[in-house]
């Protein structure tokens, strides 16, 4: 496994090792001790699976009182995955990074608590799996509008399928935002 640091503190890409032969492919998607060696020392308490079609855009989501870190991987298809620093006291507040995750590059993106997360689907369909550091709480759902001009996210594509809920999210300027930092700050 290899780690790639990004410009945002604690947002990292993990490139997984895989082994292929005439039967197919084997890949270990998670092992606590291996990730701890790379500085990812979080307890994951929930796993999620999302099926989506081409042009679906999900996000930008976060929880305020029960912040979640996410270890995201696209195991079928391809997505453009986004992390936005929404910590008001952070020197990188409002900055974002985006990466292609797909079944071929075998990458995982870790997005720590204090960041909003979203992605758009580039392939005809996709399956995204992600591990969470905190439990989902419907009463603690928050979001930022996907096309916020202050964030100026350069999404891949130009025609998106977006939920009504996500279309009604506020801008970062009008959103309720966390003051907390990441675990290692």
Set 35, 42, 130, 142: catalytic member = 130
Residue 119: HSE in the Cβ half-sphere, 13 Å Cα cutoff: 28
Please confirm, yes or no, whether 61 is among the known catalytic residues: yes
Give the Cα-Cα-Cα angle 137, 139, 142 (nearest 5 degrees).
90
33: how many CB neighbours lie within 10 A of its CB? 6
Q: Name the CA dihedral angle for 115, 129, 44, 11, rounded to a multiple of 10 degrees.
A: -30
Please confirm, yes or no, whether 130 is among the known catalytic residues: yes
CA distance 119 to 58: 5
Q: Which two tokens mark 151?
A: 């964030």
Length of the chain: 185
Q: Name the CA dihedral angle for 21, 1, 126, 121, rounded to a multiple of 10 degrees.
A: -140
CA-CA-CA-CA torsion sign (87, 88, 92, 98): positive
What is the widest separation between alpha-carbon atoms in the chain?
A: 54
Catalytic residues: 61, 130
């Amino acid at each position: 496994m290899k780690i790639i640091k990004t410009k945002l503190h604690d947002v990292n890409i993990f490139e997984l090792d895989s082994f292929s032969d005439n039967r197919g492919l084997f890949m270990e998607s998670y092992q606590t001790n291996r990730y701890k060696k790379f500085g990812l020392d979080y307890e994951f308490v929930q796993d999620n699976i999302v099926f989506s079609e081409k042009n679906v855009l999900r996000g930008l989501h976060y929880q305020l009182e029960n912040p979640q870190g996410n270890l995201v991987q696209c195991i079928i298809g391809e997505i453009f995955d986004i992390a936005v620093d929404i910590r008001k006291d952070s020197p990188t507040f409002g900055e974002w990074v985006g990466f292609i995750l797909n079944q071929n590059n075998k990458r995982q993106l870790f997005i720590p608590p204090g960041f909003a997360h979203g992605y758009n689907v580039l392939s005809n369909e996709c399956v995204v799996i992600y591990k969470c550091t905190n439990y989902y709480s419907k009463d603690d759902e928050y979001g930022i509008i996907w096309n916020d001009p202050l964030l100026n996210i350069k999404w891949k594509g130009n025609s998106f399928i977006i939920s009504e809920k996500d279309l009604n999210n506020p801008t970062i300027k009008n959103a309720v935002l966390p003051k907390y930092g990441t675990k290692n700050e």
